[in-house]
Amino acid sequence: MTRWRKALARVLLPLAVWLGLWQLLAMRVGLELLLPGPWQVLCRLVQLCPTAGFWRAALTTLGRVFLGGALGAAIGGLVAGASRWWAPVDWLCTPVMKIVRATPVASFILLIWLWCTAGWVPVVIAALMSAPVVWSATAQALDSVDPKLLEMARAYGMSKAKTWRLICLPWAAPAFGAGCRTALGLAWKAGVAAEVLCRPRWALGTQVYNAKLAMETADLFAWTAVVVCLSFGVEWALGGVWKRWDGKERRRRDGVA
Amino acid sequence: MELRDLTVRFGDKVVFDHRDFTVPDEGLTLLAGPSGVGKTTLLRALFDAYPGGSAFLFQENRLLPWRTAEQHLTDVMRPPDRGEAARWLELVELTGEERSYPAQLSGGMARRLALGRCLALPSVRLFLDEPFAGVDLPRQERILERILGLGKPVVMTGHSPELERWADRVLTL
């Protein structure tokens, strides 16, 4: 079996199995209001796709989640770096990050909604959910820098800034990247949840809420499918960029031409 | 260089117990003896006692996988000088490997890169811990001759008996 066929079998076969099970379950339930079948959802999706509102909602949500995720990654990375650079930042920020990580997302959504307009809540929530993940991954990586390399830097008279630039940051970069990928998934979940609760004008979350309100279960599934597809798409695209960069780095480090 | 009443313990193991050492700050001093006798410990104690103007080559290479050979040298120079880096790479016979990463070098080449980086440090004396591990003997001798040509006092550890003939004195532990 060629590589292409293997990959196809790995994707299509499980997809067919699960869609088949879904169809069987929908037929067993026999009530579209409770559980529409995959074909009905697909038909609804095809109807929604050509409309301007669909694309506007999808792209706006994408922009919000991406902006929030990027902000969260930047904040998480910066706080991790600053807290390992200067201990008082660690004392000050670590409890905050831990509290943010432990607080239920719904509490944050309602709280932030008091302070921001509905359109900005998903951005802030995506950032708040991403930051602790990236912070935790990066801070742990910075804590695990090889002490022998740090000893070498000290013995060879490297300044703290130079030690960070040459040793600590390259050491932590792979963990930061992995943290960003995990955080992006969380940003999608939290961002869309915020949209469902706050219902900004153009948003996938608002569409999900409206579909639920009108008891259009097929629409609810269709909009959710769009969220899932966008999440996969972004993860795939970013994963590709990361793989390319990381692969180049690894080849270089491992001595493969 | 003198160390008086040196006591070093690792847990229960006593490496040196109130020992005195005197190492002339000139020529090549070879610290010899079987493994585990305390050669590295003594070398580090000397470096700790005389850190000013001393360059220390660690027993492990401690290279950075993400820096090229040339960058390893310029990273420790003040200011970085690529021409100077080329000179040190030539001394350790790594000319042509400027853009190579540590993983692309053999064990002996990586050791020579670590040695070259140590030599590139601004220093007046050298403490070298097993500088020629994995390096073939003719090359060891060529490089050692060049190092001695720098005119800096060198204290080094090593197992190779052939190196003893280059030493001004051998301190057997």
Q: Indicate if the pLDDT at residue B129 is higher than 90.
A: yes
**Is A131 part of a structural domain of the chain?**
yes
CA proximity to A183, closest of A254, A126, A106: A126
Tokens of A211: 């579909």
User: Considering CB atoms only, which of B56, B76, B101 is closest to A252?
Assistant: B101
pLDDT at A256 over 60: no
Place of tokens 């795939």: A236
Q: Is residue A67 part of a domain?
A: yes
Q: Do A149 and B62 make contact, defined as CB atoms within 8 angstroms?
A: yes
CB-based contact B121 A157, cutoff 8 Å: yes
- Closest CB from B60, B67, B76 relative to A148: B60
A170 touches chain B (CB under 8 A): yes
> Is residue A77 situated within a structural domain?
yes
Question: pLDDT tens-digit profile of A223-239?
Answer: 888 988 888 888 888 88
**Could you tell me the residue range of the domain that residue A162 belongs to?**
52-204
Looking at the complex, report in whole angstroms how far the Cα of residue A173 sits from the nearest Cα belonging to chain B.
11
Average of pLDDT values for A85-95?
A: 91
Among partner residues B47, B103, B121, which is closest to A254 by beta-carbon distance?
Answer: B103
pLDDT digits (tens, 9 = 90+) for B84-98: 999 999 999 999 999
Distant-in-sequence, close-in-space partners of B162: CB < 8 Å, separation ≥ 6:
B137, B140, B141
ipTM exceeding 0.85, yes/no: yes
Does residue A252 belong to any structural domain of this protein? Answer: no
* Residue from A150, A164, A166 whose CB has the most chain B CBs within 10 Å, to mutate: A166
Once rounded to an integer, what is the mean pLDDT over residues A146-164? 93
Amino acid at A13: L
Task: Please count the structural domains in chain A.
Answer: 1
- Residues A110-143: tens digit of each pLDDT: 999 999 999 999 999 999 999 999 999 999 999 9
> Radius of gyration of chain A from Cα atoms?
22
Is residue A133, in this structure, part of any structural domain at all? yes
CATH number of residue A189's parent domain: 1.10.3720.10
Nearest-angstrom CA–CA distance, A61 and A59:
5
State which residue of chain B sits closest to A169, comparing Cα positions.
B66
The pLDDT of residue A70 is 94
Residue A230 is assigned to a structural domain of this protein: no
End-to-end CA distance of chain B: give it in Å, rounded.
17
Q: Quick check: B56 contacting A, CB < 8 Å?
A: yes
A96 domain-assigned: yes
Q: What is the pLDDT of residue A251?
A: 62
What does the block give as tokens for B69?
């050979």
Going by the DSSP 8-state scheme, the letter that residue B150 receives in this structure is T
**A70 belongs to a structural domain:** yes
A248: pLDDT strictly greater than 80 = no
Q: Please say whether the beta carbons of A243 and A174 come within 8 A.
A: no
- Search chain B and give the residue with CA nearest A156: B76
B2-172 fold: Rossmann fold (3.40.50)
Give the nearest partner residue to A152 out of B62, B101, B103, using CB atoms: B62
